[in-house]
Amino acid sequence: MQTFSPIREKLNPQIAAKKIFSLIKNEMMLVETEFQRQASSNIQVINYLGDYLRASGGKRVRPALLLLSNFAVGADASKKNVIRLATVMEMLHTATLVHDDIIDNADTRRNRTSVNARFGNQSAVLMGDWLYMSAFETSLKERSLEVLDILTRLTRKMTEGELIQLTMLGRSDISEQEYFDILQRKTAFLFSACCEIGAILGGATQEQQIALRDYGMNLGIAFQLADDVLDFVADEDVLGKAAGADLLEGKLTLPLILFVQRDPSVKADLEQIMHDGDYSKVSREMLLEKLEIAQTIEETRRHAYSYAEKARKNLEVLEKTEYRLALEDIPAYMIERNK
């Protein structure tokens, strides 16, 4: 019998998003202005690439987490240093996406031509590097060794995750442990850092700081698991990239890892797809049907709900304000979103 966490019935993603972001509407506008300022340069090509990246949009979830965490510990997230650090997290995330698209040879990002596809790998690499350095230059203004330590460790973890994943490309024997190690490094540590830095800037207690750090980690894992499901079940125009792209890039995600554990004979089909880089010999529709029969997509969803519920429990040490309630609603938004 299948059971689900109550968060699934809490709010639909559109209502959740509207409710959450309305709380920090003014602060998010300040972040957008600060992003434009930080991504500007007297070098014309950097301005042009920066404008292109910002226009690509995105949900800005990471800076929102920092702002909400700051408010949730009783601070004022409209302060300049909080807005600066929220922007830093979005710049680091953007830089990571630019570099990831180069590594993955991605042609699209958020329904637009990726930077590497439009301007070439050389320009994309350098722009990603420039964003990283600009983000760290801004973070230095905080004069906080604790914040810098988190950002340095975060950048190292994300790079390690990408390198580890490169060694796994094309393999059909990835274990759950290896998968979750990569997931935490590439995705969840950034969520965790956003929440922890928001708490630090707000003068949180040690207990609150640890709780928000753990909340971000569990939320990041839930987010990526939901993303893995979307990669199979969402339409390409909704995803903003090719459906089933992870497998085409040689990456096995949790639904497939669980499938291989139950039916090792499927390895040959998966290896064929990864080798060909397309679904011409083994159709995506047939693979999706097999995954649904094996119930590994539904099992991945259950894992996502489990981590989302852990994230909600992490918040119990915080006073029950509208900002804590918004943080509690984010898991529903993350898992039930359609893109």
Distance between CA atoms of 36 and 33, rounded to whole angstroms?
5
Cα dihedral 159, 164, 170, 173, rounded to 10, equals -150
Q: pLDDT tens digits, residue range 177-198?
A: 999 999 999 999 999 999 999 9
Beta strands of 33-127 (E only): which ranges?
108-109, 112-113
Percent of the chain with pLDDT over 90: 60
Q: Which residue has the tokens 């992490």?
A: 314
Res 8 pLDDT > 60: no
| pLDDT for 241 | 53
pLDDT tens-digit series, residues 119-135: 888 888 998 899 989 99
pLDDT at 216: 98
Query: What Å distances lie between residue 92 and 134, 136, 140, 236, CA to CA?
Result: 9, 9, 14, 26
108 in helix, strand or coil? Answer: strand
- Name the maximum alpha-carbon separation found in the chain: 61
- Please give the domain boundaries of the chain with CATH numbers for all domains: 6-336 (1.10.600.10)
Amino acid 243: pLDDT: 62
Look up the pTM and report it: 0.91
pLDDT at 155: 94
Cβ-Cβ contacts under 8 Å for 284 (sequence gap 6 or more): 243, 244
State whether residue 27 is helix, strand or coil. Answer: helix
Which range among 150-154, 252-256, 286-290 shows the weakest confidence by mean pLDDT?
286-290
Give the model's pLDDT for residue 9. 47
Residues 91, 129: contact at Cβ < 8 Å? no
Q: What is the model's pLDDT at position 11?
A: 57
Q: What is the pLDDT of residues 281-290, one digit of tens each?
A: 988 888 988 9
Q: Is residue 17 very low, low, confident or very high in pLDDT (cuts 50, 70, 90)?
A: confident
d(CA 245, CA 175): 20
